[in-house]
């Protein structure tokens, strides 16, 4: 009787800790989304060009790549509680850096440095929360794991949308720096709750974990990572800078309207992603495979091309963008969810966290490429150029996906997916 009782108590403690870390992750997600909207619109209103606005997020994405690459290794050596606390603390520093200084200090290099810290913070907290899933899902229950990951991912994207909404509202209501102080206070409250309420280190540590284990020798993982680069570049090449600037400068939307629209889109995207396992199994009768990812990518490539053609034909841009972005978001969410399942299926049983960390390094690299090109292409030839680049990127993702195994063998040692 003692052993089952101890196991139940351990599982209960893991569930409690998981609830705490997830709450902290949700708070950081809202703050991260809000601060990105604040920075984007504030500096565009100051007269920064789209390319300069994009450059403000350069280090955010660069250091996101670095953090994804080393995050699994850090968590293995230090424990998930330590990486969570590090992420929350760094996020507070990033927000206070922009909130506490005189406005004439808010120049490109300084803002880029603050955004670098924000990128590190976001990925440390994301990794800690999503890795914690393995503590509450029993070994061998891959279906339950897939549902938990999809639910967590969907909620994260929904709350990121809430962050976009919050950023636009705060910028309109209290101004740039006051908004940042409020966000920093929210993260500080989350940090205190983790310190006071969390028990233990949130999983075992391994002081012998090697950094070289981050790099994958698994061909399927490497191909999927390459497809992921193109997939996320296709989203961010028009969504990060081009679309918000177009809504503000061409269509004349207010901060509130633009922020709300982006928020609703991301919330809907998260809802589709959370329900993806059920939707995909209903449509195919089984789990997705490499062919599913290929088909979805080729379908997705048609959408930004169609939006670009409709805008060039003079069709009402508001209707084109609203309808087009809704359809693009739904198909993109399904594609991303399939990738998230496939990384679980392809990952090596004894290197799951390392394989997934490598895979999401590619994810961050795609976001970086998309972010920079979003500003560059918009400045060069407007939103249409961004849309054609998006179509080309998704087409490339589809071509790469052809190389994926058509029927991956399920890995009984699967533990976690860091779905984006």
Q: What is the pLDDT of residues 150-208, one digit of tens each?
A: 566 666 677 878 888 888 888 888 889 999 999 999 999 999 998 888 776 555 555 55
Give the C-alpha separation, 417 to 420, whole Å. 9
pLDDT score of 2:
41
Per-residue pLDDT at 402 exceeds 90: yes
83-134 residue pLDDT tens: 888 999 999 999 999 999 888 888 888 988 999 999 889 888 877 776 665 5
Q: What's the pTM?
A: 0.74
Angle at 189 between CA 185 and CA 190, to 5 degrees: 120
288-331 residue pLDDT tens: 778 889 999 999 999 999 999 999 999 999 999 999 999 999 99
Sequence-separated (6 or more) residues with CB below 8 Å from residue 28: 87, 88, 91, 121, 122, 125, 187, 190
pLDDT score of 296:
93
pLDDT score of 97:
94
Fold of 2-200+209-401: Growth Hormone; Chain: A; (1.20.1250)
pLDDT score of 304:
96
pLDDT score of 364:
84
Per-residue pLDDT at 418 exceeds 60: no
Give the C-alpha separation, 237 to 259, whole Å. 18
Question: Between these two residues, 386 and 75, which has the higher pLDDT value?
Answer: 386
Per-residue pLDDT at 392 exceeds 90: yes
pLDDT score of 117:
92
> Which run of H or of E encompasses 179?
helix 176-197
pLDDT score of 324:
94
pLDDT score of 215:
58
**pLDDT band, residue 391 (cuts 50/70/90):** very high
CB-CB contact of 152 with 222 (8 Å) = no
CB-CB contact of 395 with 302 (8 Å) = no
Give the C-alpha separation, 31 to 25, whole Å. 10
pLDDT score of 4:
45
Q: How far is CA 406 from CA 288, 289, 297, 416, in A?
A: 9, 6, 15, 22
Domain boundaries, the chain: 2-200+209-401
pLDDT score of 387:
96
Per-residue pLDDT at 59 exceeds 70: yes
Per-residue pLDDT at 231 exceeds 70: yes
Evaluate the CA torsion angle 163, 165, 168, 171 in order and state its sign: negative
CB-CB contact of 273 with 336 (8 Å) = yes
Give the C-alpha separation, 399 to 378, whole Å. 26
What percent of the chain shows pLDDT beyond 70?
75
Question: Between these two residues, 278 and 185, which has the higher pLDDT value?
Answer: 185
Sequence-separated (6 or more) residues with CB below 8 Å from residue 112: 55, 56, 58, 59
């Amino acid at each position: 009787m003692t052993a089952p009782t101890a196991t139940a108590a351990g599982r209960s403690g893991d569930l409690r800790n998981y609830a705490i870390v997830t709450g902290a992750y949700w708070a950081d997600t809202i703050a991260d989304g809000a601060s990105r909207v604040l920075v984007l619109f504030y500096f565009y209103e100051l007269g920064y060009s789209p390319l300069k606005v994009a450059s403000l997020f350069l280090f955010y994405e660069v250091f996101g790549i670095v953090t994804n690459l080393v995050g699994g290794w850090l968590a293995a050596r230090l424990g998930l509680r330590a990486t969570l606390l590090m992420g929350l603390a760094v996020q507070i520093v990033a927000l206070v850096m922009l909130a506490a200084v005189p406005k004439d200090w808010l120049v490109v290099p300084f803002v880029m440095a603050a955004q670098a810290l924000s990128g590190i913070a976001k990925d440390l907290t994301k990794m800690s929360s999503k890795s914690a899933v393995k503590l509450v899902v029993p070994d061998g229950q891959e279906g339950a794991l897939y549902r938990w990951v999809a639910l967590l991912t969907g909620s994260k994207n929904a709350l990121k949308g809430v962050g976009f909404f919050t950023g636009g509202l705060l910028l309109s209501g209290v101004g740039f720096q006051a908004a940042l102080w409020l966000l920093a206070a929210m993260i500080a409250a989350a940090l205190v709750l983790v310190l006071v309420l969390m028990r233990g280190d949130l999983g075992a540590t391994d002081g012998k974990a090697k950094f070289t284990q981050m790099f994958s020798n698994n061909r399927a993982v490497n191909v999927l990572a390459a497809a992921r680069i193109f997939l996320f570049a296709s989203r961010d090449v028009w969504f990060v800078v081009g679309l918000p600037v177009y809504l503000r400068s061409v269509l004349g939307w207010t901060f509130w309207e633009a922020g709300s629209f982006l928020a609703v889109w991301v919330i809907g995207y998260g809802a589709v992603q959370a329900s993806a396992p059920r939707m995909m199994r209903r449509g195919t009768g089984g789990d997705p495979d490499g062919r599913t990812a290929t088909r979805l990518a080729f379908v997705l490539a048609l959408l930004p091309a169609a939006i670009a053609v409709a805008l060039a034909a003079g069709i009402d841009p508001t209707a084109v963008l609203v309808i087009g972005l809704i359809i693009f978001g739904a198909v993109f969410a399904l594609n991303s969810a399939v990738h998230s399942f496939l990384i679980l299926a392809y990952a090596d049983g004894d290197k799951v966290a390392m394989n997934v960390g490598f895979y999401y390094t590619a994810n961050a690299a795609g976001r970086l490429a998309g972010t920079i090109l979003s500003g560059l292409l918009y400045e060069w030839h407007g939103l249409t150029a961004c849309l054609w680049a998006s179509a080309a990127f998704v087409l490339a993702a589809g071509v790469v996906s052809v190389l994926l195994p058509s029927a991956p063998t399920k890995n009984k040692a699967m533990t976690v997916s860091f779905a984006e």
